Chain A
Amino acid sequence: MLKAVNISKKFGGNIVLENFSRDFPDGKTAVILGRSGCGKTTLLNILMGLLPPDGGEVLRDGQISAVFQENRLCENLSAGANIRLVTGGAIADEQIARELSAVGLSDCMKKPVRELSGGMKRRVALLRALLSKYDILFADEPFKGLDLDTKQSVLQYFREKTLGKTVVLVTHDSAECELLADEVIRL
Chain B
Amino acid sequence: MSRLKKFAVTVGAVVFWLVVWEIIALKIDSDIILVTPIEAARRLAELLTVGEFWGSVLFSSVRVLSGFALGLAVGTALALVCYKVKFVKMLFAPLISAMKSIPVASFTILALIWIGSKNLSVLVSFLICVPIVCANMTEGMEQLDPKLSEMAKIFRIPPLRRFVGVYLSQLLPYFRAASRLAIGLCWKSGVAAEVIGIPNGSVGEKLYQSKVYLETADLFAWTAAVIILSFLCEKLFMLLIDLLYKRVEQL
Do the two chains belong together in a single complex? yes
Chain A positions near chain B (C-beta within 8 angstroms): 48, 50, 63-66, 68, 70, 72, 74, 76-78, 80-81, 84-86, 88, 110, 112, 128, 132
Give chain A nearest CB distance to B158 CB in angstroms: 7
Contacts A/B (CB < 8 Å), 18 sampled: A48-B154, A65-B155, A66-B151, A72-B145, A74-B169, A74-B170, A76-B170, A77-B248, A77-B249, A78-B250, A80-B250, A84-B251, A85-B157, A86-B155, A86-B157, A88-B158, A110-B250, A132-B155
Contacts of A112 in B (CB 8 A): 249
**Residues on B with beta carbons closer than 8 Å to the beta carbon of A78:** 249-251
Does B166 interact with chain A (Cβ within 8 Å)? yes
**In this assembly, does B201 line the interface, its C-beta being within 8 Å of a C-beta of chain A?**
no
Closest to A49 in B: B154
Docked complex Cα distance between A112 and B251 (Å): 11
Additional pairs, 18, CB under 8 Å, beyond known A65-B154, A78-B249, A84-B251: A50-B150, A63-B156, A66-B151, A72-B147, A72-B148, A72-B150, A74-B166, A74-B169, A76-B170, A76-B173, A77-B248, A77-B249, A77-B250, A77-B251, A81-B250, A85-B155, A85-B165, A85-B251
The 8 closest A-B pairs by CB, nearest first: A81-B251, A86-B155, A72-B151, A85-B165, A76-B169, A74-B169, A66-B154, A72-B147
B172 interface residue, CB < 8 Å from A?
yes
C-alpha gap A128/B166 in the complex (Å) = 14
Known contacts A63-B156, A66-B154, A112-B249; is-contact A77 B169 (Cβ 8 Å): yes
- Count residues of B near A (Cβ-Cβ below 8 Å): 22
CB distance from B163 to the nearest CB of A (A): 11
CB-CB < 8 A to A72: which residues of B?
Answer: 145, 147-148, 150-151
How many Å from the CB of A86 to the closest CB on chain B? Answer: 4
Given contacts A72-B148, A76-B249, A85-B251, contact A64 B161 (CB under 8 A): no
A83 nearest in chain B by CB position: B251
Q: How far is A66 from B165 in the complex, measured between Cα atoms in Å?
A: 18
- In the complex, the answer to whether B251 meets A76 with C-beta atoms within 8 Å is no
User: Which one of A66, A70, A76, A81 has the highest number of Cβ atoms from chain B below 10 Å of its Cβ?
Assistant: A76
Q: What is the minimal beta-carbon distance from A16 to any residue of chain B, in angstroms?
A: 20
Contact present for A68 and B147 (CB under 8 Å):
yes
CB distance from A35 to the nearest CB of B (A): 25
**Chain B: which residue is nearest A128 at the CB level?**
B155
Contacts of A70 in B (CB 8 A): 147
Tell me, rounded to whole Å, the shortest Cβ–Cβ distance linking A157 to chain B. Answer: 20
Which residues of B, 104-157, contact A by the 8 Å Cβ criterion?
A: 145, 147-148, 150-151, 154-157
- Nearest-neighbour CB distance to chain A for B127, whole angstroms, equals 31
CA distance A38 to B161 in the complex (A): 37
Closest Cβ neighbor of A125 among chain B residues: B151
Chain B residues with Cβ below 8 Å from A81 are 165, 249-251
Complex CA gap A84/B219 in Å reads 55
CA distance A181 to B151 in the complex (A): 25
